Amino acid sequence: MISFVVFGASGDLAAKKTFPALFQLFKKKAIERDQFRIIGFARSNLSNADFENIISMHSGEEQGSTVLKSFRQHSEYFRGNYSDKASFEKLNEKLKSYEEQDKSVLRIFYLAVPPSVFFDVCSNIHKTTYLPNNRTRIIVEKPFGMDYDSADMIMNLPIMRFMNPGIDAMFNHEHVESVEIFMKESGTCEGREGYFNSNGVVRDVLQNHLMQLFSAVAMDPPRSADASDIRNAKVKLLQAAKPFRREDTLFGQYVKSADGSKKGYLDLKGIPEDSNTATFVASTLYVDNERWKGVPFVFVTGKALNENDVHVSLHLRPKDMPYQSKGNQSRLVTFSIQPKEYVAFDCLIKRPTMAGGLHTAELKIDYDKDLEDVYQKYDAYEALFYDAIKGNPTRFVRSDEVEAGWRIVNNILDPKEPCEKYTFGSAGPKQLREYLHKYLYLETSKKT
């Protein structure tokens, strides 16, 4: 028997992501239906009809369908308080009533709740509903950030590296001059002002999402494809990374758009007029190991920018060759995650003219186009829940990995000096150009 408890069951995340993903697993029979039970836990006073509407509204299924009716019959609402031990004791009795005829029991607790109640929920789970011997699993939902739909491309990055030795042979200081890890967002902090103002862009994006990208592009080959070996390789990299330094960091905060139609950060509801919370950050770190000796990794992320763009690009070192021509012949290896998923390699070829010379051509693998026949889109929450049920931790972050990530960003969590201002819809602070020429475009900077 698998009992899947959703805390925060009355919220938008549960309605739009959690329950639709669980329904798809149920519909596809990826889980044994007769051995699966969903309990929605929240503080709201909901009727059975209210809860059935929540779990059905985004299912994509006709409301009268047989499979949706069966899914509802396997789901139940439980009203309780996250800080009330007695609520969890009652929840435990309900879980036991489902499990009493089954010797094989697994309890999965999914926290789609604000971070402020994480401790209360986890503490009460441990006191009242915890089962030993790997029969209890807790999934903590990140409040917001890069879409989970990016996960497949991120997981593919190390596979492409390590299963193609010719590619990974470039991933070192001998061939790479610098690395850029960018996550630019056109969206703002509106609607989540309280959380964001207390945390800022470093905690929101840099410490977690961009650290995952960094691990994928820079880690050494794991001993095997086993989840523990992959996670060990990530932790080894993060422990070798030198912490970000304030002197290598640029903070920014957006102001209203040039035409005044878009609010600035300080204009948002609930944001103090003197808030110095950063909505943009650029920072650079180095890795203290042989593979990446002296290579700068430049991280850039921000809100209210001119585009949505998530990518990693390796700037390859220029080579002294007989065919080297005058001018900039910089080459990139790019892994694009959003808005399009693709991998692109810049190659120098002979210019197809009688005069000759060099030309940079792009070799590109477009996921949607070139892998159309084999690329099966799936909901990332489905994959996460399926892995949690099957006990595969590859997609999940281990505690020592989290701790190592915090060590890296600890020096730059909050700006001490006033943030540089940038216009809503721009590329970021005007100082960014100079910053990138200093840390990223190393060879280009020498020529300009």
- Closest by CA to 413, choosing from 136, 113, 198, is 198
- Closest by CA to 56, choosing from 47, 45, 67, is 67
Please return the burial class of 212, using the count of CB atoms within 10 Å of its CB with bins 0-12, 13-18 and 19+: buried
422 within 8 A of 429, measured Cβ to Cβ: yes
Considering the candidates 209, 315, 359, 437, report the single residue annotated as catalytic: 209
- Closest by CA to 156, choosing from 164, 147, 146, 144, is 164
173 is catalytic: no
- Closest by CA to 443, choosing from 331, 360, 357, 325, is 331
158 within 8 A of 219, measured Cβ to Cβ: yes
- Closest by CA to 304, choosing from 412, 422, 433, is 422
Instruction: Kindly give the pairing relationship between strand 36-42 and strand 75-79.
Output: parallel
- Token pair of 32 as six digits: 């044994």
Give dist(CA 210, CA 398) in Å, integer: 16
Give dist(CA 441, CA 330) in Å, integer: 9
Residue numbers annotated as active site? 209
